[in-house]
Amino acid sequence: MAKITPVIMSGGAGTRLWPVSRVGNPKQFHRLGSARTLIQETALRTEGPGFAAPIVVCNAAHAAIAVRQLAEVGARPLIVLEPVGRNTAACAVAAAALVAADDPDGLVLLAPADHIIKDPDAYRAAIEAGRAAAEAGSLVVFGLKPDRAETGYGYIRAGAGAGPVRPVEAFVEKPDAATAERFVADPAYSWNAGIFLFQAKAFLAEARRLAPEVAAAAEAAVAEAARSGGLLRLGESFLGSPAISVDYAVFEKTDKAVVVTCDLGWSDVGAWRALWELAQADNALEGDVVTAGSTGCLVRTDGPTVALAGVENLVVIVENGVVLVAARDDPAAVKALVEMLKAKGRDDLL
């Protein structure tokens, strides 16, 4: 039985979680809803029998923090450094090429570093459910059972069939509210969480066929790569890859995609509201916080006391000398604020 190599994609910036998530220290390196950081939790979910040592793909600027945090939980990954971010397709091809060089039949579990999964046992069971299909050459995507009409996620529509693995009939873009309500009521639909399982050689064959520019650039970058200890720096050919997601480049075009629908207690922690929801409390408070007559608020402070009086549905974040006050249910406003700071050249705050 081929081992599964977890490939942890650690290139995201998480701008909707500013000011905690910043360019030099993005959200995957923070403790959000756990005593461990998101990247530590991601690595620990797939350790043990059946899994090879992980590969972490990240920006060179984050190599030291990734090595340190993963060593703290006993993980000794290969850290693959991208010369520049090119979204997830080039990352996936590079990782698959590295695994295939050691074992063409080896399996790759491609997962973001910055998600929360509350039920790791269900996660491992879903991986096992998809293993046989991946070993047979199918490209497996994990679909999360929706618990609300979410307009911020893409969806997967499963085709006919019985059992945990079904063919993908379609990938559906982020819907409007009425369409999302219909999707939630239809068991054929699940959220696309961006977690994939595939045989290295099978994925590479599809990437070469469906996304030849991505495959050529990423595979050349692996051939040019320089290794030093546990670090592997991809070559400059990586810059020649289009910046495109693995969904668009391969999964939405292939006829080999299958979906495993599962319920993992998953969150992409895409906005401050997500942390408030995960806390399952009226007010989610961390640090020195006092409240009076306030409801539905999320407050985090790294030092100064925060006092709330007679307010509701707010996010208040005090982090490294910056104070954010925002409406809890308007994550787009935080992203727009970060874009404004970029436009003003406020790199000191980013």
pLDDT at 13 over 80: no
Residue 304 and residue 258 share a domain: no
- Reported as a single tens digit per residue, the pLDDT across 197-250 is 999 999 999 999 999 999 999 999 999 999 998 899 999 999 999 999 999 999
Residue 150 and residue 226 share a domain: yes
Residue 343 and residue 220 share a domain: no
DSSP letter (8 states) at residue 348: G
Residue 295 and residue 253 share a domain: no
CA 124 – CA 286 distance, rounded (Å): 31
Residue 223 and residue 333 share a domain: no
Provide the pLDDT for residue 147: 87
Residue 324 and residue 212 share a domain: no
Residue 314 and residue 182 share a domain: no
Match 């990586």 to its residue by tokens.
238
Per the structure, the count of domains in the chain is 2
Residue 325 and residue 216 share a domain: no
Residue 109 and residue 66 share a domain: yes
Average pLDDT rounded to a whole number, residues 21-37: 92
- Reported as a single tens digit per residue, the pLDDT across 50-67 is 999 999 999 999 999 999
pLDDT at 269 over 80: yes
pTM: 0.94
Tell me the pairing of strands 284-286 and 289-292: unpaired
Residue 171 near residue 192, CB atoms below 8 Å: yes
Residue 62's domain is classified under what CATH number? 3.90.550.10
Confidence band of 143 (pLDDT split at 50, 70, 90): very high
Residue 149 and residue 17 share a domain: yes
How does the average pLDDT of the chain come out, rounded? 94
Residue 279 and residue 251 share a domain: no
Provide the pLDDT for residue 2: 83
Residue 161 and residue 288 share a domain: no
Which structural domain range is residue 315 located in? 272-349
Nearest alpha carbon to residue 96 among 7, 21, 20: 7
